[in-house]
Amino acid sequence: MTENWAMVVDFAWLSLFIIMAAWLKSCVRLLRAWIVPTAIIAGFLGLVAGPEVLGLVPFDPNTLGTIVYHFMAIGFIALSLKERDQRKHSQMLNSGMFIVSTYLVQGLVGLVLMLLLVQLLYPNMFPGIGLLLPLGYGQGPGQAYSIGSQWEELGISGGGNLGLTIAAMGFLWASLIGVPLMNIWMRMKRFASVHTDAAEPQTKLYEESEPKEIPLGDALDKLSFQVALIGVIYLITYATIAGLAALLEPLGTFGDTLAQLLWGFHFLLGSLIALAFRWGFNRRKNIGRAVEHRPNNYLLQRIAGFSFDYMIAASIAAISIYALQEYGSVVMLLTTLGGFVTIGYVLWLSPRLFPKDPLPNAVGFYGMLTGTISTGMALVKAVDPHFRTNVTDNMVLGSATAIMFGFPLLLILNMPIIGYVDNRPMMYGLTLLALLLFFALLLGAILWRTRVSKR
């Protein structure tokens, strides 16, 4: 009977730590001043209270990992179902290219560093773990854990825990480094021009009910429909991956490797299916056949926020300190170098892409590209408290277009593990070459677009 309660009990403990973290933020001025998201505080409370430190809470790392894995996909599906008027966001393409180019910079730094460390100090270590840097910093704990755990299934010791740790270090860089960095940038000449002419916030901080929406008194609650729609999409996602895995099975080791990687990319497939559903709803609306039961932006945003809060808290609480003994020095080198390079790249490129609002965009994208979009939003609020710039739209809609630009990157990131499984070290060099070529093409496109926009 206790096994049936494992996930529920761990979820309940996370809920307690989230409440405690919210209370601490309301009481401790320092926590508010450093803009530390509540979910991060809750995660570290869970880590300290967990079995490897104080031993007060018997967290099951596998259960916490399952929460991270599934809540990440639920959050991505919810965000992909939201309706947006893309015609009003001319910076969306630039933002997506900026996000993916930063992933590439982080990936190049991580892979080059690990190739050097393998040659000089750790000959038996897998060089591909350097590619967990863009996953943990750029995409967050869910993706880092998902891919790392699939690598673990293929023989990489502690891959999932390593991904979570890199993501946790990213949160520290976003929060603890982000605040003093923001204050330094505010005094720099290149960030002196901030466009805040708009009389009203450009991003809605709340959402109103749409006309002809399903009434609250309907037999099916609006929230129930949103959850059911996400559940259907997740079911299709599962069936699709299971079907592809079955087709790959006859290919032997190569097929098994690809199948494991597909399970790690469940969130991406779920997002694409959700976008297809969103297109279908928009199509019906455009021809005047909109259905009463349809996705609701406000509720979908709440579902996504709930999912990501628990995902972040669980990801930090699930970190195994003992399992990191093998990678401790490597993680510190990797995350420190990755943090400084991310600062330098954002400092160089952001003012060129967003000359009207350089400071809010720089701090927002820095917070998002080391932590999550929530840490980015928190930093933006410190320099643009009324959201008068279009930074939040750039971040949210840029993340959507980043899926399109980032798809080749997701394929490249899995080249090293294929080389590891098949004992083909040359795949590491091919991965480095592919990253360099992709980065050169993307950066060239970004710089060309900035020159054209100045004419």
Its sign, for the CA torsion 372, 373, 375, 379, is positive
| Alpha-carbon span 165 to 132, nearest angstrom | 10
| Alpha-carbon span 307 to 74, nearest angstrom | 7
Joined tokens for residue 212: 């002809």
| Exposure on the CB side of residue 365, measured as CA atoms within 13 A | 36
Scanning 215-265, the segments in alpha helix (DSSP H) are 222-248, 253-264
Give the model confidence (pLDDT) of 59-106 as tens digits: 887 788 888 888 878 987 887 888 765 554 557 788 888 888 999 999
Global pTM reads 0.72
The tens place of each residue's pLDDT in the chain, 455 residues long, gives 466 788 889 999 999 999 999 999 888 877 776 666 788 788 889 989 988 888 888 888 778 888 888 887 898 788 788 876 555 455 778 888 888 899 999 999 999 999 999 888 888 888 888 888 988 888 777 778 778 887 888 778 778 888 878 888 887 888 778 878 887 887 777 666 544 444 444 444 444 445 555 555 556 678 888 999 999 999 999 999 899 888 887 776 667 666 766 776 787 788 888 888 888 888 877 776 666 677 888 888 888 888 888 888 887 887 777 766 777 788 889 999 999 999 999 999 988 888 877 888 888 889 889 877 767 776 776 677 665 667 766 776 677 677 677 777 777 887 888 888 888 888 888 999 999 999 999 999 888 887 766 65
The per-residue DSSP string of 419-444 comes to HHHTT-THHHHHHHHHHHHHHHHHHH
Q: Which residues contact 355 (CB under 8 A, 6 or more apart)?
A: 193
Structural contact between residues 86 and 401, judged by C-beta atoms closer than 8 angstroms: no
Joined tokens for residue 361: 């965009």
Scanning 321-414, the segments in alpha helix (DSSP H) are 328-353, 358-370, 373-383, 391-412
| Alpha-carbon span 77 to 267, nearest angstrom | 8
Domain ranges of the chain: 2-192+224-454
* AA identity, residue 231: G
* 305: three-class secondary structure by DSSP: helix
